[in-house]
Amino acid sequence: MSARLEAEHLHKVFGRRPDQAVERLRQGTDREELRADGITAAVVDASFSVAPGEIFVVMGLSGSGKSTLLRMLNGLLEPTAGRVRYDGQDLTALSDRELRAVRARKISMVFQHFALFPHRSVRENAAYGLEVQGVPRAERERRAGEALALCGLAGWEDSWPDELSGGMQQRVGLARALATDADLLLMDESFSALDPLIRRDMQDQLLELQKSLKKTIVFITHDLNEAMRLGDRIAVMRDGRIVQTGTAEDILLRPANDYVASFIQDVDRSRVLTASSVMDTGVDGHEADCACATATPDTPFTDLCALSARLTHPVAVLDEADEVVGVVPQERLVAFLGGESAEEVAAHA
């Protein structure tokens, strides 16, 4: 499957003579040295690709350059160097007018503080993108209504943004992004301003919607738990650079460096890990003729624990063809829960 969105060596430098600064960065000059010259390298050499239907999460602390990176993807910020391709089309080569057309039809955005227009009703907000496209009123109101219903806001069309709770406002923001039928959704810390329970709801709803809509989503967050929950793949950013890209389990079990390792300490591993990532692929110790319960590679870690508690031997992991692909001994569960990486666990075994 070819990539929907590709970022190739993206740089964004603020300050005087940005081109020169990029050249210096390529030659290995440190970001701090540039800062001393009054130049801020917000994004340095970021490359990744996002497949259609994938949720790609960019995770990093504030100041890591993730929001800048996101704004280069739809051209709100012009990259200092590098390219952005959408379905193979080079967005960085487009004129302003062409770029606006792409933004109006193919790329939507959901904002951290919702960015709803206070002088427009909920329906008019949801219809905004279609209005920009020039869709006639009746049709855009119909489509806005559908998008609002999809986000669970049927019946609120004639309300005003300031009459809604934060969670509902962000649903309007989501409906506004979905109404245009753009395939690529850029979500900039979209759930960060919500309180934890609402945030969970919104994450669940996004995953639910994604099952049927299959949008391509680039999601920015500073919350690693959120990244692990939502992301098919995760890119971890630090100081403008992407330090690791991989699935949640890759990052949890095989952190690329100490920074990522320190980052994942607080993650609730039991929510992320599945049988496939903790099992021992050697089949030693498997009671082949045992008729007790087994797991699949997708079985969540917590379910594995429950299974293991009722067995005196390791839990068997079976694939679709009922072949045993691995076993999970209890001590392995404990080791992973204790925060050990894949290598450390292997070394003990």
Partner 1 sequence: MPRLPLGDWVDSGVDWLLAHMSWLFDAIKTVVEGMYDGINAALAAPEPLLLAGILAVIAWWLRGLVAGVLAFAGFLLIDSLDLWDRAMSTLALVLVATVIALVISIPLGIWAARSRTVSAVVRPALDLLQTMPSMVLLIPAILFFGLGTSAGVIATLIFALAPGVRMTELGIRQVDAELVEAAEAFGTSPRDTLLRVQLPLALPTIMAGVNQVIMLGLSMVVIAGMVGTGGLGGAVNEAIGQLDIGFGFEAGVGIVVLAIYLDRMTSALGTQISPLGRRAAAKARMAGGAKPWNYRPRPAFAVIGVVVLALVAGGMGIFGPSSGTKVNSATDVGKGKNITIGYIPWDEGIASTFLWKEVLEERGYKVTTTQYAAGPLYTGVATGQIDFQTDAWLPTTHAEYWKKYGKQLDDLGSWYGSTSLELTVPSYMKDVNTLADLKTHASEFGGRITGIEPSAGMMGLLKTKVLKEYGLQGSYDVVDGSTPAMLAELQRAYAKKQPIVVTLWSPHWAYSEYKLKKLKDPKNAWGKGDGVHTVARKGFAADNPDVGKWLRDFRMTEGQLTGLEAQIQKSGKGEEQAAVRSWLKQHPGLVDQLAPVT
In the complex, what is the shortest distance from the CB of residue 34 to partner 1, in angstroms, rounded to a whole number?
Answer: 24
What is the spatial distance between Cα 59 and Cα 228, in angstroms, rounded to a whole number?
A: 10
What is the spatial distance between Cα 295 and Cα 307, in angstroms, rounded to a whole number?
A: 8
In the complex, what is the shortest distance from the CB of residue 86 to partner 1, in angstroms, rounded to a whole number?
Answer: 14
Cα 44 off chain centre by:
20
Nearer to partner 1, 189 or 226 (CB): 189
Sequence-distant (6+) residues with CB within 8 A of 229 are 203, 207, 271
Nearer to partner 1, 119 or 211 (CB): 119
160 binds partner 1 (CB under 8 A): yes
Of 242, 241, 221, nearest to 231 (Cα)? 221
Nearer to partner 1, 10 or 107 (CB): 107
In the complex, what is the shortest distance from the CB of residue 266 to partner 1, in angstroms, rounded to a whole number?
Answer: 29
- On the CB side of 327, CA atoms within 13 Å amount to 17
In the complex, what is the shortest distance from the CB of residue 144 to partner 1, in angstroms, rounded to a whole number?
Answer: 13
Nearer to partner 1, 133 or 265 (CB): 133
In the complex, what is the shortest distance from the CB of residue 113 to partner 1, in angstroms, rounded to a whole number?
Answer: 6
Cβ atoms of 183 and 4 within 8 Å: the answer is yes
186 binds partner 1 (CB under 8 A): yes
In the complex, what is the shortest distance from the CB of residue 179 to partner 1, in angstroms, rounded to a whole number?
Answer: 10
Nearer to partner 1, 101 or 335 (CB): 101
The phi and psi torsions of 260 (rounded to 5 degrees) equal -65, -40
Nearer to partner 1, 113 or 142 (CB): 113
Pick out residues in 74-133 that bind partner 1 (CB under 8 A).
Answer: 74, 76, 97, 100-105, 107-109, 111-113, 115, 117-120, 128-129, 132-133
What is the spatial distance between Cα 187 and Cα 156, in angstroms, rounded to a whole number?
A: 23
β 81-86/89-90 pair status: antiparallel
In the complex, what is the shortest distance from the CB of residue 259 to partner 1, in angstroms, rounded to a whole number?
Answer: 30
14 binds partner 1 (CB under 8 A): no
Q: How many amino acids of this chain bind partner 1 (CB under 8 A)?
A: 28
Cβ atoms of 4 and 87 within 8 Å: the answer is yes
Nearer to partner 1, 113 or 200 (CB): 113
In the complex, what is the shortest distance from the CB of residue 18 to partner 1, in angstroms, rounded to a whole number?
Answer: 19
Nearer to partner 1, 110 or 328 (CB): 110
Nearer to partner 1, 173 or 231 (CB): 173
142 binds partner 1 (CB under 8 A): no
In the complex, what is the shortest distance from the CB of residue 77 to partner 1, in angstroms, rounded to a whole number?
Answer: 10
Give strand pairing partners of 234.
57, 246
134 binds partner 1 (CB under 8 A): no
- Please give the residue ranges that form the binding site for partner 1 (CB under 8 A): 74, 76, 97, 100-105, 107-109, 111-113, 115, 117-120, 128-129, 132-133, 160, 176, 180, 186
